[in-house]
Structures are given as C-alpha cells and as structure tokens.
Amino acid sequence: DSSNEKDEVLTFSLNSFLIDILYRWTENTPFDSRPFRWIGIYMDSSNKEDDLEKSLRKAIELGGDTEQEAMIYLVSNYINTLKFGTHEFPSGYCGDLSECI
C-alpha cells in the first residue's frame, strides 16, 4: 500500500468483486482512510463521479497529510474536468468566464 507503483488495470470482474469488499471494509473500520482511497482511485469504472469525490475527500479527512495520493488524484481530476470544459475556448480568452461555464 505504501509503494508508489500501482496497477492501472483492474478487469471488470475483479473490480465488481473488490468494490463490495472495500465498502464492507469502510463499514467495519470507518476510521481507516485506505479503503476510501482505493474506492476513489481504483473503482472509478463502477461508481458515479460524485461518489469518487466523496470517497477521496473522506480518505483525506481521515488520513490527513498521509493521503498524498488521494490529494493528487482529486486535484488532477478537478484540473482534467476544468481542462475538458474549457478546451474549446480561444487562446488568450478575455471574456466573462461565468457566462461560459
């Protein structure tokens, strides 16, 4: 769990098998940040986006500074969402962004 390497590929059947275990883990040990981080980072194919954000925020709340991976993943997700939402704006756009977003 402390290594910096992670396996990017979880097959669907493994994902659907693990999600139940992870949710039970959160119920049995609600003050452990690890299952929340795993749900937020690795289970994104089986959850809605807001569930992922809630899980990552909970991991950060419980783990504090030890949850660097959850923090990086959450901020990266926000940046990617913003980047996608603004990718068609012209370069040097000076308009009112509140009207566009």
Chain segment 6-65, per-residue pLDDT in tens: 555 655 667 778 888 999 999 999 999 999 999 998 886 555 666 889 999 999 999 999
49 found inside a domain: yes
Query: Whole-prediction pTM value?
Result: 0.70
Burial 61-86 (b: 16+ CB within 10 A, else e): ebbeeebebbbebbeebeeeeeeeee
40 found inside a domain: yes
Q: How many domains, the chain?
A: 1
Residue 69 lies in domain = 30-77
16 found inside a domain: no
Which residue shows structure tokens 């603004």?
86
5 found inside a domain: no
Q: What local confidence, expressed as pLDDT, does residue 37 receive?
A: 95
22 found inside a domain: no
